[in-house]
Amino acid sequence: MVGWFSRLVVATTVRMPKWFVRWVSRRYVAGPALEDAVRVMKRLTGEGACFTVDVLGEEISSLDEATFFLEEYIRVMDAIQEHGLDANLSIKPTAFGLLIDAEAGMANIRTLVERAAKHEMFVRLDMEDHRVTTDTIEVVLKLHEEGLTNVGTVLQGRLHRTLDDIEHLEKRLGGMADYRICKGIYLEPEAIAHSQYNDIVVATNEAITSMLRAGAYVGIATHDLPVVNHTRASLKEFGMGPGVTDPRPNAGPPRPNKGPGYEFQMLLGVRGPLRRKLLNEGHRTRVYIPYGEKWYEYSIRRLKENPTIGVQVAKAFLLPWTNRP
């Protein structure tokens, strides 16, 4: 029943006028401009949150567009420094030209990561669809080989290959591996990915345990209580938790502006009460802050690729007081 209702809400929303989609998305997108993102981060800083900033937009058609994203992220870095915000960067490798010209895309990403390293700022390579999974991982490995260790990737629990990817990265990077693990937003073919909720949750939980066992830094990006509860249990198993120095013998060195080997991450505007509960328990919590002129395309894509978000949309519209951002 819930699944049917959620899909109906999404199908209705994506056909509504742009102003209505903007009304819905304002909860989940900071706004069209960098100033909007700064404003939201300043507000949430008062709650003790930290952030990762994403300039909306991904696969591009020309390297000129890649230049825009590189320059915009440099502006983001400057704004983070200027306002003293506890924030790092999330980038889409395809927005930097990885699928157009792999060498040029790599050069653009390297330029950004090098500049971020000078400010002890971390850069997360978002994981896009399966076409670029291997390439994204290889970019991280190459940058680490070059001594740029302030970079990590995202892995998606739903993909069948994820446990193998963790093992591969463990062999190459050891405790220097740094992940965001999520269920995954892209609806991939069943031949390469789980499609049922319970299977995805189980696979994501297995990935979290594997990452923690490998000594990696783990950003658990979830709004699902089964994943949160599994993470709590796994942290206890490894002797990890709020206010505890990471005790794992195979862990990498402490990361600037990060938690003791792990943190929780959530999307802007989604399950604010759960985020605040985790924060009150002492866990480091990071909020994903998307902004940019591509807010409409981003909003429609997220709705179409994750129909379960329809329940959140309906709740925000009908019962806004029950889920404060």
Q: Would you kindly state where each structural domain of the chain is located, as residue ranges?
A: 1-28+307-318, 30-291
pLDDT digits (tens, 9 = 90+) for 249-278: 999 999 989 999 999 999 998 888 999 999
Task: Tokens for 291, please give them.
Answer: 């902004």
Q: Residue 10 corresponds to which tokens in the numbers above?
A: 């999404």
Q: Percent of the chain at pLDDT above 90? A: 73
Q: If you write DSSP's letter for every residue of 71-133 in order, what string do you get?
A: HHHHHHHHHHHHHT--EEEEE-GGGGTTTT-HHHHHHHHHHHHHHHHHTT--EEE---SGGGH
Most confident of 4-8, 231-235, 299-303: 231-235
The per-residue pLDDT for 304 is: 58
Least confident segment among 172-176, 185-189, 221-225, 293-297? 293-297
Q: Residue 76 in contact with residue 53, Cβ under 8 Å?
A: yes
pLDDT in the model for residue 269: 84
The residue-averaged pLDDT of 280-296 equals 89
pLDDT at 283 over 90: yes
99-143 tens-digit pLDDT: 999 999 999 999 999 999 999 999 999 999 999 999 999 999 999
Tell me which architecture the domain covering 30-291 has in CATH.
Answer: Alpha-Beta Barrel (3.20)
CB-based burial, 97-127: b 16+ in 10 Å, e otherwise: bbbbeeeebbebbbebbebbbeeebbbbbbb
**Degrees to nearest 5, angle at CA 121 with 296 and 324:** 45
More confident residue, 280 or 20: 280
Token pair listed for 38: 């700064």
Q: Rounded distance, CA 93 to CA 66, Å?
A: 10
Give the separation between CA 323 and CA 142, rounded to whole angstroms: 42
Instruction: Compute, in degrees rounded to 10, the torsion defined by CA atoms 270, 275, 277, 283.
Output: 170
